Amino acid sequence: MIIVMKADLPADSPELEQVIQLAEGYPGVSTQVHRIQGVTRSVTEVYLLGSTGVIPAEPFEEFVGVERVVRITEKFRTIGRHDSGQEAIGFEYNGVELSQDSFHVFPGLCAVDTNENVDTMFRALADRGIQTSRAGAYKPRTSPYDFQGHGAQCLPHLFESAGKHGIRIVSMEVTSEIQVEEIQQALEQSGQATGVMLQIGTRNAQNFELLKAVGQQTELPVLFKRGMGITLNESLNACEYVASAGNHRIVFCLRGMKTNFGDPHRNFVDFTHVPVIRRMTRLPVFVDPSHSVGTRAVSSDGLLDIFHASAQGIISGANGVLVDFHPHPQEALCDGPQALLLDELEPFLEDCRITRDAYEQRLKVAPRAGAR
Ligand code: PEP
Ligand code: MN
């Protein structure tokens, strides 16, 4: 059971204390208080843990400070919608809104290699007014003999260059807790030149200690990639680890599932799940067409499969696209074969705009079908 308090209620409000006291008066029930900072307002939620099935909603609903009482229908209580009982929770980070209403493209390097490529990439984004990017400093590779990323040593230049080109958020994968500290330190040393969204890669989707670690810090938001070989329910429960540890600024990212049934794509593209995640969770939903399609194959209509996959995600309501670009893919140290070229940036962004507009047009149909 979740008691949602009225928006912007102060932390020391007697109303909150009354709710906690009433809840803890029921045998075997304990409470947890979560404060969620949304884009326009902050919400306090009291979670009742234990056997709450028999607890009536009415006594809580009578408090003037209570907005509503939500019965839990899913185990992932913080990120879940619970049969529409909960609203989406967007957030703002470094001046950028990330919510189920916003849309951003995050084009960038799969892995940071040379300073020159970093500068070229960010300059190309700045020229087109893009303030969000991706860049990998710590790469989880299938083979220990493959390039593992430049690690902490590439961060000072990366952040300085991002700041210089007006990049506000860089999505960056972390594979261990120590890397979170390295990123925070480098950001501080750069004078917070940019922002970082900590990316949990699909291979670490159930690395519970890492999930707790990125959840315990609340400075940096988290982009959680769906686990490629586990059920959706398992991925959602894993993602809940981040929120339950205290960090509610989370983006859920689809990136394809590992199975040969997706051949000739690298992974089976799962972007029809965009609307599913949007209704099951309160989180903004991104798609990663590069790591799901994994090739630069072009279809009979002249468009790359990566363009098609992105469009499929966007037209279904995706709130963001994480996509690999590289100035010289043949020299890339990781995932060169799936990188888009810099002269494909403009057409890619145009295709995203066309598809986002089409999605917004599609919403006009909703009142006549489904949303009745
Ligand atoms: C990545 O985005 O660089 C990456 C490794 O993705 P994934 O975890 O989806 O494979
Ligand atoms: Mn990659």
Would the CB of 195 count as within 6 Å of ligand 1? no
pTM above 0.85, yes or no: yes
- Does 366 have pLDDT greater than 70? yes
Query: Which one, of 170, 95, 85, lies nearest residue 125 by Cα?
Result: 170
Nearest alpha carbon, ligand 1 atom 5: 201
Percent of the chain topping pLDDT 90: 94
CB of 225 closer than 6 angstroms to any ligand 1 atom: yes
> Ligand 1: which of 112, 150, 173, 222 to mutate, judged by most atoms within 8 Å of the beta carbon?
173
- What three-state secondary structure class fits 188? helix
The CB of 291 under 6 Å from ligand 1? The reply is yes
350 C-beta neighbours (distance < 10 Å), count: 10
Q: Out of 170, 198, 200, 288, give the residue to mutate to test ligand 1, the one with the largest number of ligand atoms within 8 Å of its CB.
A: 288
Whether the pLDDT of residue 193 is over 90: the answer is: yes
For 244, the token pair is 């339950």
Q: Are 189 and 181 in contact (CB under 8 A)?
A: no
All structural domains of the chain: 2-88 (3.30.70.1140), 103-369 (3.20.20.70)
The CA distance from 350 to 151, in Å, is: 33
Of the pLDDT bands very low, low, confident and very high (cuts 50, 70, 90), residue 204 is: very high
Provide the 10 A C-beta neighbour count for residue 123.
14
Atom of ligand 1 nearest to the CA of 228: 9
Answer yes or no: is the C-beta of 255 below 6 A from any ligand 1 atom. Answer: yes
pLDDT tens digits for 275-301? 999 999 999 999 999 999 999 999 999
- 318 versus 89: which is more confidently predicted? 318
CA of 294 relative to ligand 2 center, distance in Å: 9
Residue 250 in contact with residue 37, Cβ under 8 Å?
A: no
E strand or H helix at 9: none
Nearest atom of ligand 1 to the alpha carbon of 204: 8
User: Judging by DSSP bridges, how do beta strands 96-98 and 91-93 pair with one another?
Assistant: antiparallel
Going from the Cα of 323 to the center of ligand 1, the distance in angstroms, rounded, reads 10
Tokens representing 115 are: 């300073």
| Mutate which of 170, 252, 255, 287 for ligand 1 pocket (most atoms within 8 A of beta carbon) | 255
CA distance 219 to 192: 12
Kindly report, residue by residue over 148-173, the tens digit of the pLDDT. 999 999 999 999 999 999 999 999 99
